[in-house]
Structure 1
Amino acid sequence: MRGRDDEYAKFVRARSLALLRSAYLLTGDQHLAEDLVQEALARTHRAWSRLRETGNAEAYARRTMYHLQVSVWRRRKVTEVLPGDLPEPLDRHGHDDAESIARRMTVERALRSLSARQRAVVVLRYFEDHTEVEAAETLGVSVSTIKTQTTRALERLRKLVPELTDFRTTEGTGR
């Protein structure tokens, strides 16, 4: 039992930050992202004995995160606005780069303006680098839904953030 817990703790230390980044992109809120990761890791722990043998622990945790978030999106909506933001990143000299901060904030605001499903598709396809088929399987929808949501999301992002017009989809390649 001790070795199992040690392996799980090592997994959590190694992958929590990456899971948190994905969760933040899905939720748009640091606290909700932390809750999402915590719940996904709790479920991963319950399945740990079979996951550690197959080496699929991170895939299981990510899939659990996406399914939990889809469940949240399907619930009745109650508008909640939380004022907190992440601290601003520093440039390589330890100073704020106003231009990159403004660009990041613009992109974050644009991502938050997408529908929940569109945001999930963008995160899966372009942040997590999943294929259309993998994204469809993760979200439990058809590949055509992924293609439609991707197209609509990118159109909206390009409209809100014109600098993204150079960003092209790789349609037809499955990536």
Structure 2
Amino acid sequence: MDQREEQEFAEYFAAKRDSVRRTAYMLCGDWHRADDLAQTAFVSLHRRWRKIRDRAATDAYLRKTLVRASIDESRRPWRRERQVEELPEPAGQGGPRLDDQVATREDLLAGLRGVPSRQRAVLVLRYFEGLDVSGVAKALGCSEGTVKSQTARGLENLRKVLGGLGEEVDSRG
């Protein structure tokens, strides 16, 4: 790339870095993995920067690359193990009840981690990135019907996971 193209990419990177990182975090629920996913997406974009003819479609390309990187990473065998911040408390010990707490962002992120990666990608793109059904279909390279069904299943799974979080807290209290 020549110096002008490098400067264009540097400006684009500076403008989009934080929003791409936040989207990556919503996809995976871990800031370290989000940094890795964002870096993977930007490296891929940098490699193809010269070939991009329609600069208006750059955001869509970057978003699609980010989602695909997230899905690919979630399929890796070492990602099937889940790490938790704290060990679960034995039943019968006092703790906060879910109905006494205000729903927090952490609850939502914990719920999203319990949803399969493709459904999570659809939910994040639809409800956090604000894309419509056709935009999500383009970003994921699938049909609008698939987006609709994955949205419905994803919301159903998210409700189950969030309901399960409430049952866990209720059983302790």
* Fold shared, TM-score > 0.5 on shorter chain: yes
**Larger-Rg structure:** 2
Gaps of 5+ in 1: 85-98, 163-175
1:1-175 to structure 2, matched below 5 A, reads 1-51=2-52, 54-76=55-77, 78-81=80-83, 83=85, 103-161=104-162
Give the number of the structure with larger relative contact order, counting CA–CA contacts within 8 Å between residues 6 or more apart: 2
Q: Residues 142 and 74 from structure 1, CA distance in 2 versus in 1: closer, same or farther, beyond 3 angstroms?
A: farther
Cα distance change on mapping 1:156 and 1:80 into 2, 3 Å = closer
Rate the CA distance shift 1:111–1:105 in 2: closer, same or farther, 3 A.
Answer: same
Distance 1:44 1:161, change over 3 A: same
Cα pair distance change 1:31/1:18, threshold 3 Å: same
Question: Which runs of at least 4 in structure 1 moved beyond 4 Å after TM superposition?
Answer: 159-162
Q: CA RMSD in A?
A: 2.4
Say which SS state the counterpart of residue 111 (structure 2) adopts: helix
- Conserved in 2, the CA contact under 8 Å of 1:19 and 1:37? yes
Deviation at 1:83, TM superposition (A): 4.2
Q: Deviations over 1:81-126 (max 9, x none)?
A: 2649xxxxxxxxxxxxxx76x5111111111111111111100111
Aligned residues with identical type, % of pairs: 37
Distance 1:57 1:140, change over 3 A: closer
1:121–1:149 Cα contact (<8 Å) kept: yes
- For 1:138 and 1:123, how far apart are their aligned partners in 2? 12
Q: TM-score, normalised by structure 2?
A: 0.73
> How far 1:31 moved relative to its partner?
0.8
Q: Decide whether the 8 Å contact of 1:121 with 1:150 is kept in 2.
A: yes
Distance 1:23 1:150 in 2: 18
Distance of 2:160 and 2:37 partners within structure 1: 30
Counterparts in 2 of 1:52 and 1:11: CA distance versus 1, 3 Å: farther
TM-score, structure 1 normalization: 0.72
The 8 Å contact of residues 124 and 130 in structure 1, kept in 2 or not, is answered as yes
Query: Contact conserved, 2:114 with 2:161, CA < 8 A, in 1?
Result: no
Cα distance, 1:158–1:56 mapped onto 2, change above 3 Å? same
Question: 5+ residue gaps in structure 2?
Answer: 87-100, 164-173
Q: Name the count of aligned residue pairs.
A: 147
CA distance in 2, matches of 1:142, 1:75: 25
Deviation at 1:137, TM superposition (A): 2.7
